[in-house]
Amino acid sequence: MTLATADTHPRGLAATLAHARYVISDNPVTGIAFGMFLVLVVCALLGPFIVPYDPLASDTAAALQAPSATHWFGTDNLGRDIFSRVIVATRLDMAIAVFSVALVFAAGGIAGIASGFFGGWTDRIIGRISDTIMAFPLFVLAMGIVAALGNTVTNIVIATAIINFPLYVRVARSEAAIRRQAGFVQAARLTGNSEWRILLTTILPNIMPIMMVQMSLTMGYAILNAAGLSFIGLGVRPPTPEWGIMVAEGAAYIVSGEWWIALFPGLALMFAVFCFNLLGDGLRDIVDPQRRT
Amino acid sequence: MLKLIGSRLATAVPSLIGVVIVTFMLTRVLPGDTAAYFAGPAATAESIAEIRTKLGLDKPLPVQFVDYVSALAKGDLGSSLSTGQPVAAEISARLPASAELTLAGLILALAIAVPFGIMAAVKQGSWVDHACRLITTAGVSLPVFFTGLLLVYVFYFKLGWAPAPLGRLDVFFSAPETVTGFYLIDSLIARDFETFRAALAQLAVPAITLAIFALAPIARMTRASMLSVLSSEFVRTARAAGLTDTTVIITYAFRNAMLPVVTTLGMVFSFLLGANVLVEKVFAWPGIGSYAVEALITSDYAPVQGFVLAMAILYVILNLLIDIAYGVIDPRARSEA
Amino acid sequence: MHGNVDVTAQAAKTSETPSGPLLEVRDLTVEFATRRGVVTAVSQVNLTLAKGETLGIVGESGSGKSVTSYTVMRILDRAGRIAEGSITFSGMDVAHAPESAMRDLRGREMSMIFQNPRAALNPIRTVGRQIGDVQLQHVQADARNVKEKVIDILKQVRIARPEERYQAYPFELSGGMCQRIVIALALACRPQLMIADEPTTGLDVTTQKAVMDLVTELTRERGMSTLLITHDLGLAAAYCDTVMVMEKGKVVETAPAERIFRDPQHPYTRKLMRATPRPGITLRDLLPEEPAVSAAPAQNPPPQSEARAQAASAPATKVLLQVENLVKEYPRQGAPSAFLSGLLGKKAPPEERIFRAVDDISFAVLKGESVGLVGESGCGKSTTSTIVMRLIDPTAGRISFAGEDISAIPAKDFAHHPMRRRIQMVFQDPTESLNPRYTAERAIADPLLRMGGFSGGAKLRARVADLAEMVGLPQNLLERFPHQLSGGQKARVGIARAIALDPDLVILDEPTAALDVSVQAVVLNLLEDLKQRLGMSYLFVSHDLHVVGLLCDRVIVMRAGRIVEEGSSQQVLDAPKDAYTRELIAAIPHPPV
Amino acid sequence: MNRREFVKSASATAVATGTGVAAPAVFSSAQAQARNETLLIVSESGPNNLDIHGVGTNVPGYEANWNTYDRLITHEMTEKDGVRYYDRDKLKGELAEDMNIGDMSVTFKLKKNATFQDGSPVTAKDVKWSLDRAVSVGGFPTFQMKAGSLEKPEQFVVVDDHTVRVDFIRKDRLTIPDLAVIVPCVINSGLVQKNATEKDPWGLEYTKQNTAGSGAYRVTKWTPGTEVIFERFEDWKGGPLPKIKRVIWRMVPSAGNRRALLERGDADISYDLPNKDFVELKQSGKLNIVSVPYSNGVQYIGMNVKNPPFDNLKVREAIAYAIPYQKIMDAALFGLAKPMFGAPADAKTQVAWPEPTKFVTDLAKAKQLLAEAGYPNGLETTLSFDLGFAGVNEPLCVLLQENLAQIGIKTTINKIPGANWRTELTKKVLPLFTNVFSGWLDYPEYFFFWCYHGNNSIFNTMSYQSAAMDAFIDGARAAAANGDKAAYDAGVKGMVDLAFADVPRIPLYQPYVNVAMQKNITGYEYWFHRRLDYRAFQKG
C-alpha cells in the first residue's frame, strides 16, 4: 500500500504477536496457562536429554524409595526414577493429546460444518452417525477399538478421536447453521464462490475460536482416556513411560503407603489438563478478532 | 408433545440399527477365539473345529448376522461364556446397579455444579468465579479411578467414615426385595431404613467419585449459559421493574439458563456411563460396566453385544426424557415438534 | 378507565413534593472501566423534567442518550459508575441512594420500556405472570387478586381478549402486541416517570404510530412525565414537549419542540435536522450545508429532480430487468412436515400448509433507472429481491435480465454463470455483511479474484484502491478488520464490493437502515453519485418511503405479497392513489416542513 | 443347529432349575450373631463354573468344587515348618470307610450313612456314574484322570450298593493318589440326570450353576463376578462337622482395597495380594501371614523350541544366562519364593523336584553364546505373559526385557488377558513367555509327564519332544509302579539332567502360596491345589 503512515495497527504476523502479548498480559490466568504450556512443550521436546536418570533403567536395590535428594519424585517398584519417567512421558502424552484432537477436529469439525451448512440429507446422515457413536458408552467404545486392534498408541489416538466425534459435530454444526444465512455468506455466494469454498474459507475461520476452546478441553480428556485404558490393562505397552499407566500402576501402592508412585504422574496429568483448560479460554481471546480492539 | 416423542423415536431407529451393526462388527474383530475357549484347555484341533460348527461360527458373516438379529428379535441375547448365565438375565440384574450409581453421581454433580455455575456467573471475574473454575477443572483433571482409590484411602482406610468398598451392600445385609432394582428406592418401599442407610453409605463414596468427574462440564455449561442470559434484555427489563435479585436470578435467568444445560446432560450421562466402568472396578460394584469390561477383555462377545444394546436403548430413553424436560421448561419447543 | 382503581393505587404511593421538577439532573458525568482504561460516556449533562412533561433526548448512536436514562434508573452494568453530578427524583437523591431503596423505586415510581419488545420479555413465562410479578413485588396486588388486576391493565393498554392473552407466551404475540405488554409491565404500578428507550425502533411504521399514540395517551391521562430516547427527529417532533440534543456524551441544545425545529441554534442540531429524510426535499438537502452556501435549504427548487424527471420521460430506453407473475411459497411455519402428516394420515388443507410470501407480482426496471420497492415487514419485498438476485428459486414466474431468462437457471448453479457478475447486492446490516476474518481490502478484492479475472498483485491492489477512492474510503483503513471500522465505513466497503465487477443492476436491501441519520445522508448521496457516474440501475428495497422517494425514480408499494401501487416517486408521495399507501405516508412522523 | 440353539437350550435349562435351588438366603440380619459364625473371603476373581468337570472351569472354580463335593479318599494332615500340610503319602477315607488295594484293582467300601445334600443316600451307582463322567467329558478333567491311568469307564465296577472296585489297566503308582485329587468327586447322579438333556447327557449345564454333591458346604447364592455364598451341610459324613456355618466369598478387583479391608478387619481372609503387601503385613504383625512353597510348582521362562530362533540350543542358553535372577527375586517377588537357579557347579542332581539349575546371570557369556548361535547383532521377538498375574509377571518381564536388550535381543511385551491365556498356550505359537505350572500330585515323574513328555499336552508349552526324555519319564513311571527304587532314581535324575541340558524352559523360582488372615482365624491347611479348605477353619 502506498500509505505507510505510522499506523496503530501493525500488519500480519506482527499484529498477531502483539495481540498475543497483549492478551497474556491482560488476563493473568491466560498468562499462567501459556507458561504451563511452554513448560509442557519444553519437557516434550528436551525431556529425554535433560532427565537425571534413564527412565527405563531399573535398579531393584533402590526400589520403592520415598522422594529424596537423589530421586526427587522417589522410585517405583522396579527402582526406576519417577521424576525422569514423568518428564519423558510428556512427549508421549502430548502426542496422544495433540494427534487425537487434530484427528477429531479434521473429521468431526468438517463433518459438523458440512451438516450445519448444507443441511438436508448431509445433515441427517452425519446426525445419525454421530447418534450411533453417542449411543455407545464412550469408554466401552474405546476399549472395544483398542481390544480389537491391539493396544498401540495409534489405536488409542483413533479411539479417543472416535469418542469425541459427536461432540465436535454438534458444536461445529450449530455454529455453521447460525452463520449459514449470514450476510457475508450470501455476499460470498454473489461473488461466485462455490459452496465448498465458502465453507472452508468463510465459515471455518469464523468458528475457529469456538473450536479452539473445544479442542483444548478434549486434549485433557484424551490423556485421561489413555489412563483409563491402562487401568484395565489395555493402555500403552510397558515399559514406555506414560502418565496414565504410571498412575494406574501406582494406584495399587496407595494403600500400602507408597503414595509417591501414583501421586507425581497424577499431578503431572492434572498440570497438563489444567493448562489445556485455561489455555482454551486464552486461545479464544487471541483467535477471536472481536477481542482484538 | 406426542409429535415430539414420535419424531424423536423416528430419529432413534436408524441409530439403533447402526449400533446393532457396529457391535456385531466390533465383536467379530475381537482377538479371542470363542470356539477354542469353548472347547476347553486340552482340546485338539479337530474338536475345536467341531465346536465351531456347532456354534455356527464357521458360517459366513452375513448369515451369522441374520442369526444374531433374528435371535435379538426374539429377545434372546445369548449366554455369556465366562459366566454361563443368559446375558438378558445378567443385564437385568446388573443394570439397576449401574443406573443407580450413575444417576446418584449425576444428581450429586448437578447439586454441586449448578449452584457453582450460577455463583460464578453472577459474580463473574470475582474470586468465586476463579475458585469455581479451579475446583471443577481439578475434579476432571484426575483419572476417575485415581480419585476413587484416593477417596477410599482417605475416607475408608484412614478415617473409617466410609464403609468397606465391597459393592452395593454390606455383607451382612440382604438386598431389599427387588421392585425397581434400585436398592435405595426398594428399601424405602420395604420400609427397611436400616438397609436404606447401609445402601446409602455404600453408595456415597463411589457417587462422589463420579460426581467430581462430572462437575467440570456441567459447571462450565451453567456458567456460560447464565452469563449469556444475564446479559439478555429481559433480565434488564426485570431489573428495571424492580424485581429482587433472587427473583431475577432464579425465576428469570436461571430457568432460561437451564435449557442448554439440559441438552448437555445427555452427553454428560453417557460420559459418566463410561467413567462408571472404572469406578465399578475400584468399588467392586456389581454393575454392568465391569461386566462388559470383563467380557470385552476375554473376547466373550454375547455380553458385550447385550451391554451395548442396553446402553443404546438407555441412551434413546434418556434423550426422550431430556426432550420432554426441555418441552416442559421451554414452551417454544412444545409448539413446533 | 375505572375510576376507583385509579384512586386506591394513587393513595398507596408516597406523597410527592408539591412543587419543583419531578426529575433534576445536575452536571452528570458517567465513566466506564474498559480493558483500555476509563471511558467517559456522558459528561456534564443537565436536564429537568417537570410533572406531566415529555422530554425527548435525541442523538445518534454513541451520543450517550441511553446511558443517561440508565443512570437515572441506576441500572448501569457493573463497569459503569457515576463520576460526578447529582440526580434528584421527586426530592430523593438517586445518585447515592442505597440499592434497596432504588429497587423499591424502580417499577413503582419510575419504569422503563425498551427497544425490541419481544427480547425484553421472558421467553418462557406467560406475559400475565410477568406483569403479575411486578405487581406482587411492589405490593400492588396479592396472590388472590393479581390475575384480575393484570387483566385490567391489559385492557388499559388496549389488548384484545385480555383473559386469553394472559396465558400467552411472548413468542405467540406480534411485535406491536409485545410492546403493549412491555408498556403494561411499566405502568403496572402507576409510576410517576416513564423512560422509553427507542420504544418503536424495529416496529413497522403503522404499529409505531399506534404504540406512540397509546403511550402519550396513557401518560397524559395519569399526569406522568416521560423521557423519550430516540434517534428519530420526526418522532421527537411529533410526541415531545421539549427536545434535548446530545452529541458524543454532551448536551448541545435543549429547547421546546416547535422552536428547535423552526430555528435550530447549534450547528450539530441543524446538521441532524437537514439529514432527516422528509417530504419535499432532494438528496443534496440531506447533506449539511457547505459553509460557503448560506441559503436556507428549503427555498431553491432542487435542480437535481429535473434531471431525474427528464430521465423518466426520456424515450423508454432498453428494459434491463423484467419480472413476470413471480410467486414464492413456503410451508407454513409449525405445520407438520409433509412426511409426518403423511405418516399420521391427516392432511391439512393446502392453504393452511402453504404460505405465499410473493403472490403473482410483475414489474420492470429500465436501464439506468432506480426503482424503489417499499412495504412493511412481511410484505415480501426482501423475498422478491433475493429471488431477483438468484439466491433462491421462485415457485413460479419468469425473470429476464437484459433479454435473457435467468429464472430458468437454478440458484445454486447461478454462482458460476457469467450473468452473476452483472447483478450485485448491498446488504442491510454492514457489520453482518462483512466477513469478520477479512480485512476491508480482502473483502473488496474477493469478487475481483473470483470473477474479475484478477490474480492478485499490484494490479489487484490498484483496482481496490481505485474502488476505495470511488466510495470515499481512506486508503489506510483498507487493512483494518470490520470491527475496527465505523458503521459508515463498513457500508462503504460493502458498496465498493458490490460495484467491483461493474454490475448493471445493484439491489440495495435497506442499505442505510442500520446507519445513523447523518451517515445515511452521506451514503445515499454516494449511491446517487455512483449511479450517475457508472450508469447502473438500482432496485432499492426499504420500509421508509421518504428515503426511497429521495433516491428512486419510480416506487412500487407492496403489501402481503402483492403490489398495491406503482408510479413515479413524485406522484406516489404527493398523490397516492391507494388507501394503504396513504396510511403509510401519514404514519411516518417527520419534523415540521 | 447353530450357535443360538446350542447355547440357548443349555442356558434355558440352567435358568429354569437354577432359580429353584439358589433361593435367596433369607436370614435374620442380626449382625453380631452372624459375624463370628461367618467367614468373609475377598479375592480378585471368582469361579466361572461350580463343576470341576465343566467346560473351561477356572482355578477359583476348583475351590468351590473342593468344598462342596466329597471324594472316595483324601489326604491325612501333617506339619511342615509350622503349617498344617497335606500328607502326600498317607490317605484316609472320606466317603469310603474301607479301602483295600489288590494286585490289579482297588475296592472301596462306602460309608453307609453318607447322604447327598438333597438327602438321597450316596450309593456305588453314584460313584461309578461320577467316575465315568470324569473320564468321558474330555478336556482337563479327562487328562487329569489319564495321568493316573484311570481312562476307561469299564475300570469302574459296582460290586454292591456300597462297594466299588476300580480295576487298573497298568500298574501305576499315581492311580491311588489321583483318586484323591479334585476331579474324581462323587456327584448325586439321580439329581443331575433328572436335569440332563439328550444334548447334555452329563448335565454339565445344571452342575455349572448348582452344587449336587455330598460335601461339607452347599452353594446357596452365586452372582458370577460378584460373590458366592456357602452354607454348611449339617449332616456331612465326610469328616468332623466344620466350625464355620457360613462362608461369604466376595470379588474385590482392586488389590489396594483388598489390603485395606484386611487391615481394617472388614475381611477375614485374602490370598491374592501383591507380594509386597504380604511382606509388609507380615512385618506389621497385625495379621497372620502364611507363606508355603507351591508343591511341585515352578515359575519358568518358556521358549517355543519348534521354530527359530529358539529351536537353537545356544540361543536358549544365552537367554538362560541373561535372566536377571536376583533382581526378579527382589523386585518382583520381594523374596517370597525359593530360587531355582544358581546351584553350585559341583552340585549333584537330586531325586526330587523342583530343584535349582546351575544358571546365573552372566551377560558376557550370554552375548558370546548368542554370537556362537549365529545372531551376532541380536534378534527381535515378543515376550508374553498372563495379565491375570500381572502383579508378578509385569515387573518380571520388564526386568528381563531390560537385560535381554543389553545382549541385543529386542523384545516387545505382549499382555494377554487371563481367560485367553490358556487358549494362546494351546496354539503353541508364543516364542518367549513366562508361566507357572504346578502338578497336583507331588511326584517328579508327574510334573515331567505334563511338562516335558512328547505327548505334547497343553502344559508342554514349549512343544518340546525328545525320545530320550520320554524314555526317562516312562521308565521312572514304570519303576515307581513296580517299586524298583534304583531304576526310579536313575530315571528321575536322567529327566532332570536332560531338562537342564536341553533347557526348553528355564526355571526361575518355586513360588509361595501366601494367605493373609485375621488374628482370630485359625485352621489354615495347605493343599496340593493351593486353594482354601473351608472345613478346617475356626473363627473367634
Considering only CA atoms, which of D340, D336, D338, D327 is closest in space to residue D275? D336
Bridge partners, residue B91, by sequence: none
Nearest to A132 among B18, B27, B30 (CB): B18
From chain D, pick out residues whose CB is under 8 angstroms from the CB of A78.
Answer: 331, 395, 398-399
Residue C84 included in any domain: no
Select from A149, A165, A158, A153 the least CA-distant residue to A230.
A153
- Residue spans of the domains in chain B: they are 98-299
Helix, strand and coil content of chain B, in percent to the nearest 5, comes to 75, 0, 25
The pLDDT of residue A286 is 63
- The reply to whether C72 falls in a domain is no
CA distances to A158, C420, C494 from A188, in Å: 36, 12, 12
Categorize the per-residue pLDDT at C349 as very low, low, confident or very high, splitting at 50, 70 and 90: low
> pLDDT grade, residue C207 (50/70/90)?
confident
Test B330 with C122 for CB contact under 8 angstroms. Answer: no
Mean pLDDT, chain A, as a whole number? 82
Model confidence at D130: pLDDT above 90 = yes
pLDDT tens for residues C448-489? Answer: 888 877 887 888 889 899 989 888 888 888 888 888 888 888
* Nearest chain C Cα distance for residue B160, angstroms: 48
Provide the pLDDT for residue C351.
56
Q: Is A122 on the interface with B (CB under 8 A)?
A: no
Distance CA A160, CA A139 (A): 9
Whole-prediction pTM value? 0.82
pLDDT of residue D157: 92
| Partner A contacted by C346 (CB < 8 A) | no
C312 or C116, which is more confident: C116
Selection from B65-74, C584-593, D212-221, D410-419 with the highest mean pLDDT: D212-221
Say if A196 is an interface residue toward chain C (CB within 8 Å). Answer: no
A262 reaches B (C-beta below 8 A): yes
**C6 assigned to some structural domain:** no
User: Average of pLDDT values for C105-127?
Assistant: 87
Partner residue facing A233 (CB), from B22, B297, B299: B297
Residue B1 has pLDDT above 70, yes or no: no
Q: Say whether pLDDT at D19 is over 60.
A: no
Confidence at A57, pLDDT banded by 50, 70, 90: confident
- Residue contact B42–D143, C-beta within 8 A: yes
Chains touching D (at least 3 CB pairs under 8 A) are: A, B
Smallest Cβ distance to D256: which of A77, A239, A254? A254
Assess whether chains B and D touch, using the rule of 3 or more C-beta pairs within 8 angstroms: yes
Which residue of C386, C432, C444, C505 to mutate against A (max A Cβ within 10 Å)?
C432
**D102 conformational bin, left if phi > 0, alpha if psi -120 to 50, beta if neither:** beta
Contact call for B41 and D458, based on CB within 8 A: yes
d(CA A235, CA A245): 7
Look at residue C566 and tell me if it is in a domain: yes
CB-nearest to C340 from B7, B232, B242 is B7
Q: What distance in Å separates the CA atoms of residue C46 and residue C69, rounded to the nearest whole number?
A: 12
Answer whether residue D104 shows pLDDT above 70.
yes
Distances (CA, A) of D108 to D3, D124, D237, D498: 43, 9, 16, 40
Q: Verify whether the Cβ–Cβ distance A231 to B145 is below 8 Å.
A: yes
Give residues with Cβ within 8 angstroms of D240, minimum separation 6: none
Asked if pLDDT for residue D272 goes beyond 50, the answer is yes
Residue A293 pLDDT more than 70?
no
Asked if the C-beta of D263 comes within 8 angstroms of chain B's C-beta atoms, the answer is yes
State the cell numbers at D422. 490358556
Q: Give pLDDT tens digits for B278-301.
A: 898 888 888 888 888 878 777 777
Share the mean pLDDT of chain C.
82
Contact with chain B for residue C334, Cβ under 8 A: yes
CB contact under 8 A, A189 and C415: yes
Does residue C540 fall inside a structural domain?
A: yes
- Asked if residue C171 has pLDDT above 90, the reply is no
The CA distance from D369 to D374, in Å, is 9
Q: Specify the DSSP element, H or E, that contains A223.
A: helix A204-231
Q: Which residue of A has its CA nearest to C435?
A: A184
From A220's Cα to the closest Cα of chain C, the distance in A is 29
The C-alpha of C201 sits at a distance from chain A's nearest C-alpha, in angstroms, of 21
CB pairs under 8 A between A and D: 63
Indicate if the pLDDT at residue D427 is higher than 70: yes
Q: Does the pLDDT at position D323 exceed 90?
A: yes
Write the ipTM.
0.79
Whether pLDDT at A118 is above 50 = yes
Give residue for cell 535381554: D404
> D323, D300, D330, D272: which is closest to D514 by C-alpha?
D272
Average pLDDT over residues B104-131: 89
B80, B90 Cβ separation under 8 angstroms: yes
* Listed range (C294-298, C336-340, C510-514) with the worst mean pLDDT: C294-298
Q: Quote the CA–CA distance of B196 and B204 in Å, as a whole number.
A: 12
Lowest mean pLDDT, pick from C116-130, C412-426, D490-504: C412-426
Q: Please report which confidence band the pLDDT of residue C188 belongs to, taking 50, 70 and 90 as the band edges.
A: confident
> Mutation test of the interface with chain B: which of A162, A210, A217, A231, choosing the one with the most B Cβ atoms within 10 A?
A231
The per-residue DSSP string of A110-157 comes to: HHHHHHHHH-HHHHHHHHHHHHHHHHS-HHHHHHHHHHHH-S-HHHHH
Q: Using the 8-state DSSP alphabet, how is residue A232 labeled? A: T
Q: Flag the least confident range among B215-219, C5-9, C563-567.
A: C5-9
pLDDT score recorded for residue B277: 84
A147 touches chain B (CB under 8 A): yes
Which residues pair with residue D78 across a beta bridge? Answer: D85
Cβ separation of A256 and D256 shorter than 8 Å?
yes
Do residues D178 and D184 touch, judged by C-beta distance below 8 A? yes
Which residue among B144, B307, B315 places its CB closest to the CB of A135? B315
Report yes or no: D182 and D51 within 8 Å, Cβ to Cβ: no
Radius of gyration of chain B (CA): 24
> Which tens digit of pLDDT belongs to each residue from A227-272?
888 887 777 887 888 888 888 888 888 888 888 998 999 899 889 9
**Per-residue pLDDT at D6:** 38
**CB-CB under 8 Å, B232 with C75:** no
Mean pLDDT score of chain B: 83
Report how many domains make up chain C. 1
**Which residues of chain B have a CB within 8 Å of the CB of C187?**
none
* Cβ within 8 Å, pair A134-B266: yes
Q: For the residues A149-158, what does the mean pLDDT come to?
A: 84
Superfamily of domain B98-299: MetI-like (1.10.3720.10)
In a domain, C435, yes or no: yes
Decide: residue C230, CB within 10 A, 0-12 exposed, 13-18 middle, 19+ buried: buried
Q: Return the pLDDT at B311.
A: 83
The residue with cell 445385609 is: B173
C209 inside domain:
no
Annotate C421-466 with three-state secondary structure. HHEEEECCCHHHHCCCCCCHHHHHHHHHHHHCCCCCHHHHHHHHHH
CB contact under 8 A, C415 and A1: no
Give D36's DSSP letter: T
Residue A38 — pLDDT band, cuts 50, 70, 90? Answer: very high
B5-19, B142-156, C337-351, D120-134, range with the lowest pLDDT: C337-351
Nearest in space to D44 (alpha carbons), one of A257, B203, A139, B281: B281
More confident residue, A277 or B48: A277
Q: How many CB atoms lie within 10 A of CB A166?
A: 26
The predicted pLDDT at position A253 comes to 85
Strand partners, C566: C556
Range of the domain at C511: 320-587
- CA-based nearest distance A259→chain B, Å: 10
A65, A77, A247: which to substitute to probe chain D, counting the most D Cβ within 10 Å? A77
> CA-to-CA distance for C325 and C384, rounded, in angstroms?
11
| Structure-block grid coordinates of residue D262 | 484386611
User: What is the reported pLDDT for A39?
Assistant: 92
Cα–Cα dist C133/C140, whole Å: 10
DSSP H/E element including B51: helix B45-54
Size of interface A-C (CB pairs under 8 A): 90
* Cβ-based neighbour number of residue D178 at 10 Å: 21
Binary contact (D254, B281; C-beta < 8 A): yes
pLDDT > 90? residue B35: no
pLDDT number for residue D390: 83
Write the pLDDT tens digit of every residue in C318-334.
888 899 999 998 887 65
Number of other CB atoms surrounding residue C405 within 10 Å: 12
Residues of C in contact with A190 (CB under 8 A): 389, 391, 420, 424-425, 447
> Is residue D67 over pLDDT 90?
yes
β-partners of residue D182 are: none
Portion of chain D with pLDDT greater than 70, in percent = 94
pLDDT at D318 over 80: yes
Provide, as residue numbers in chain C, all residues whose Cβ is less than 8 Å from the Cβ of B242. 103-108, 134, 137-138
Q: Which long-range contacts (CB under 8 A, 24 or more apart) does A210-214 make?
A: A210/A171, A210/A175, A210/A284, A211/A105, A211/A109, A211/A168, A211/A171, A211/A172, A211/A175, A212/A280, A212/A283, A212/A284, A212/A287, A213/A280, A213/A281, A213/A283, A213/A284, A214/A167, A214/A168, A214/A171, A214/A280
**Mean pLDDT confidence for B190-214:** 90
For residue B337, what pLDDT is reported?
38
Chain A nearest CA to D251, separation (Å): 16
Residues of B with CB under 8 A from a CB of C: 3, 6-7, 231-234, 236-244, 247, 251-252, 255-256, 329-332, 335-337
CB B165 within 8 A of CB D252: yes
**pLDDT interval class at D167 (50, 70, 90):** very high
**Quick one: what percent of chain A has pLDDT higher than 90?**
15
- Write the CATH number for C433: 3.40.50.300
> CA C417 to CA C145: how far, in whole Å?
67
Which among D224, D261, D426 is the nearest to B164, CB-wise? D261
Among chain A residues, CA nearest to B294: A232
